[in-house]
Amino acid sequence: MTIVYDRVALIGLGLIASSMHWAIKRAGLAGEVTGYARSSETRDTAREIGLCDRVCESAIEAVKDADLVVLCVPVGAMEAVAKEIAPYLKTGATVTDVGSVKKAVIDAVAPHIPADVHFIPSHPLAGTEHSGPRSGFAELYDNRWWLIVPAEGADVAAVAKLRALCEGMGANVDEMNAEHHDLVLAVTSHTPHLIAYTMVGVADDLRRVSESEVIKYSASGFRDFTRIAASDPTMWRDVFLNNKEATLEILGRFTEELFALQRAIRTGDGEHLHDYFTHTRAIRRGIIEAGQDTDAPNFGRAPGPVKGES
């Protein structure tokens, strides 16, 4: 048990914050964890399940004397929260966020953070399709990547402390700049989510033709799409509105590849299809070898909580 921060404040008490709380408690990384969520319903639930040592009635109260403040709200809500808490932050404190997009969050939040407070953006690449205060669990970050996106010239000791907290929660930490982060995530998470949303939408259209057969006979490929497409609508709306450029760039490339495969199917070019699928199969193997997924049946996803990322 090594305390990294005396007091941690979690603003927003959904999946990411609640998992942080349980992971911090598991390893004894903070003296006290305070929390705040905008609705009284979420605050009451948090109190009922013992989420946070102290659930506060305002964000301002939660951040008072906090050594680390973590913004765990949807990307589109980061600026308003930062603006509200900024005058009440302790000198020398660190503010981080867990938003799935980095450049837009930095542009929105950084101008509000006082000069005597460190703003060190970050993003845990771990999640599930569930949300809310009851959805968190201590193991969410185990062996998952947590990307830290420090600005140039960021305080080295403050970055090291945040890294220690993330590692203490079980994560592997890497540093990256914001533009690169947004492009990488557009490839690995944002565009795949958009494709899943689309595929489930197409299947839903089809269902009107073939009644319930799409659901009844859905094989694991489609089931995986529906799992991803069940992710929180607010969070994902904000991701696409705030990672516009990178997502559109990757979608453009995706469309080109799709047309090439479409053409191969139409012209009966089996060699093209086989080569393509051989290549993609090797990528899947690489992910398993890197310890980022399992080749257990159903990807090890049943029956417990499902790991994903954003």
Regarding 131 and contact with ligand NAP (CB under 6 A), the answer is yes
Query: Hunting for tokens 């102290």 — which residue is that?
Result: 54
15 versus 85: smaller Cβ distance to ligand NAP: 15
Q: How many residues bind ligand NAP (CB under 6 A)?
A: 28
Query: How many angstroms separate the CA atoms of 214 and 211, rounded?
Result: 8
Phi, psi dihedrals of residue 30, rounded to the nearest 5°: -140, 150
Regarding 117 and contact with ligand NAP (CB under 6 A), the answer is no
CA angle 263/264/270 to nearest 5° reads 170
Regarding 176 and contact with ligand NAP (CB under 6 A), the answer is no
Please state the closest distance from residue 125 (CB atom) to ligand NAP, in A.
7
Regarding 138 and contact with ligand NAP (CB under 6 A), the answer is no
Regarding 235 and contact with ligand NAP (CB under 6 A), the answer is yes
Please state the closest distance from residue 40 (CB atom) to ligand NAP, in A.
8
Task: Return the structure tokens found at 73.
Answer: 């709200």
116 versus 179: smaller Cβ distance to ligand NAP: 179
Tell me which amino acid residue 49 is. I
Task: Return the structure tokens found at 223.
Answer: 């089931």
Stretch that binds ligand NAP, among 23-31, 66-74, 154-162, 221-229 (CB under 6 A): 66-74
Query: Residues 62, 72, 186, 214: which binds ligand NAP (CB under 6 A)?
Result: 72
130 versus 272: smaller Cβ distance to ligand NAP: 130
What mask, x for binding ligand NAP by CB under 6 A, covers residues 281 to 310? ---------------------------x-x
109 versus 158: smaller Cβ distance to ligand NAP: 109
Please state the closest distance from residue 159 (CB atom) to ligand NAP, in A.
19
**Which residues 189-218 are close enough to bind ligand NAP by CB under 6 A?**
none
Please state the closest distance from residue 153 (CB atom) to ligand NAP, in A.
25
Please state the closest distance from residue 10 (CB atom) to ligand NAP, in A.
9
Can you give the binding site for ligand NAP, defined by CB under 6 A? 12-17, 37-39, 42, 72-75, 77, 81, 98-100, 123-124, 127, 131-132, 232, 235, 308, 310
